[in-house]
Amino acid sequence: MSERVYVFPLFERFWHWAQAILIMLLLVTGFEVHGTYRLLGFERAVDTHTVVAWTLVGLWVFAIFWHFTTGEWKQYIPTLTKVDAMIRYYVWGIFTDAPHPFRLTRLQKHNPLQRLAYLGVMTFIGPLLWVTGWLYLFYASWPAWGLERYLSLEWVSFFHTAGAFMMLLFLIAHLYLITTGHTVFSHLKAMFTGWEETD
C-alpha cells in the first residue's frame, strides 16, 4: 500500500518548472551562440540568452529568499549515509524489484544522491555559469572595473561552456532519474501536484 507525502509546496514547484524552462532555453540559445548550430540567428540567440539569463537571476533571488526563510535549504545538507545503498540500488536493486533504500519524508524529501547532485548544481555548476556569464555580459565594462588585465574572453567563454556541458549532463541524468520513482511517472506527478507517492 502506498502512502502520499506533501513534499513540494507551490512556490517550490513554480521555481522548479520556471527554472527548468529557463535552463533549457539557455542551453538551446547558448549552444547557438557558441556556434554549435543555427536556429534563431546569432544576434537573436544572444538577445534571448541575455533576457532569459536575467530572468533566471530574478527567479533565483526569490528562490534564495524562500530557501532561507522556510529553512528548506537544509534539504541540501550533504550526507554520505546510505549513498552506497543508493548506488547499489541503481546498479542492481532497481532491476530486481528490491525496495528503495531511502524513505522519503517531509523533512527529508531528497535521497542522498539527489542531495549531492542538487547541491553540486546549486553551489558549483550554477555559480560557475553565473560568474562566467556575468563576466561575459559585462565584457564591455572590464576596463572600467579593472579586470581587463586579468581576464580573457576566450577563457571566460571556456569556463562558461564547460559549465553548460555540466548542466547538460545533469539535465540528461535528471530527466531519466525522475522515472525511477514509485512508478515511472510518480516523481513527475509530484512535481506538479506536490504530493509524492512512496512505497
Partner 1 sequence: MTRRTESRSGTGRLAAWLLAGAAGLLHAAAFASTADHSQFKQLQQTFGSGPAVTTVCLECHARAADEVMASKHWTWSFPDPHSGKQLGKQNVLTSFSLGIQSNNPTCNACHIGYGWKDNSFDFTAKENVDCLVCHDTTGAYRKGTGMAGHPPVAGMALPEGTKPVDLADVAQNVGKTSRDTCGTCHFHGGGGDGVKHGDLDTSLTAPDKEVDVHMDALGLDFACTECHKTTDHQVAGSRYALTAKDPHGALMRGKDDGRNPATCQACHGNTPHKAARLDRHADKLACQTCHIPEYARGGIATKLTWDWSAAGRRDSHGQPLLTRDDHGRIVYDAKKGAFSYGEDVVPDYFWFNGKVEHLTVSDRIDPAKPVPLNRFEGSADDGESRIWPFKVMRAVQPYDRVHLTMLKAHTTGNDEDSYGRDFDWHRAIARGMKDAGKPFSGEFGFVETEMSWPITHMVAPKEQALSCVACHGAQSRLAGVPGIHVPGHHGHGWLDKLGWWLAGLTLLGVVAHGAGRAFAHRKGVRK
**42 near partner 1, judged by CB under 8 A:** yes
**118 near partner 1, judged by CB under 8 A:** no
**Strand spans (E) along 108-153:** none
When the beta carbons of 107 and 140 are compared against partner 1, the nearer one is 140
When the beta carbons of 64 and 94 are compared against partner 1, the nearer one is 94
Site string for partner 1, 179-198 (x = CB under 8 A): xx------------------
At 33 the three-state DSSP class reads: helix
Q: What are the grid coordinates assigned to 17, written together?
A: 518548472
Q: Number of helices (H) and strands (E) in the chain: give both, helices first.
A: 8, 2
- Give the residue from 130, 87, 107 showing the smallest Cα distance to 196: 107
| β partners of residue 195 | 6
Q: Which stretch binds partner 1 (CB under 8 A): 52-60, 111-119, 125-133, 155-163?
A: 155-163
Find the shortest distance in angstroms from Cβ 84 to partner 1: 18
**173 near partner 1, judged by CB under 8 A:** yes
**43 near partner 1, judged by CB under 8 A:** yes
Cβ atoms of 100 and 199 within 8 Å: the answer is yes
**33 near partner 1, judged by CB under 8 A:** yes
Find the shortest distance in angstroms from Cβ 143 to partner 1: 8
User: What is the DSSP-derived secondary structure letter of residue 180?
Assistant: G
Q: Which stretch binds partner 1 (CB under 8 A): 4-12, 63-71, 91-99, 106-114?
A: 91-99
When the beta carbons of 7 and 133 are compared against partner 1, the nearer one is 133
Alpha-carbon Rg for the chain in angstroms = 19
* 186 alpha carbon, distance to own chain's centre: 19
Give, in order, the Cα–Cα distances in Å from 34 to each of 16, 66, 98, 111, 137. 26, 33, 44, 35, 14
Within positions 121 to 150, which residues make up the interface with partner 1, using CB under 8 A? 139-141
Q: What are the grid coordinates assigned to 194, written together?
A: 506536490
Binding site residues, partner 1, CB under 8 A: 32-36, 38, 41-43, 46, 90, 94-97, 139-141, 152-154, 157-158, 161-162, 164-165, 168-169, 172-173, 175-177, 179-180
